[in-house]
Structure 1
């Protein structure tokens, strides 16, 4: 996502003629989009995005479990003897 944001910023700077970016060649300005494509290709091919998705799902599942246990009075913090 950082690559896309940087690419949009560079395009705006190029079109508005602001700073040194106005003098850069277009392929330099558009290169962050190529970086984004390479990043997404690597992340999908290596399973990085799937692992992050599964980790988030596990965290939500554990939070739901803890909430249910606390509602039943079985939570770790609520144990009384």
Structure 2
């Protein structure tokens, strides 16, 4: 997401002709979009995306279990 924001910011600065971006080549301004594509490709190939999704689901599951135990009075409260 950071690469996309940098790319959009670069295009806006280039379009509005704000220095120093106005003097840069277009390939430099558009490079963050290529980096975003590479990042997404790597994240999918390496399993990073799925691992993060599984961690998020596990955290939500544990939170739900803790809320239910607390509602039943089974969870010990820390002081």
Normalised by the shorter chain, which TM-score bucket?
over 0.9
Coordinate RMSD, CA, aligned: 1.0
CA distance in 2, matches of 1:59, 1:2: 25
Match of 2:4 in 1: 4
Task: Please report the TM-score for the alignment, with normalisation by the length of structure 1.
Answer: 0.94
| Unaligned segments of structure 2, at least 5 residues | none
Q: Deviating runs (4+, > 2 A) in structure 1?
A: none
CA distance in 2, matches of 1:11, 1:61: 42
- Write out per-residue CA displacement over residues 19-51 of structure 1, whole angstroms, 9 at most, x where no aligned residue: 110011111100000000000000000000000
Look at both structures and tell me which one has the larger radius of gyration over its CA atoms: 1
Count of paired positions: 78
| Unaligned segments of structure 1, at least 5 residues | none
CA distance in 2, matches of 1:27, 1:76: 58
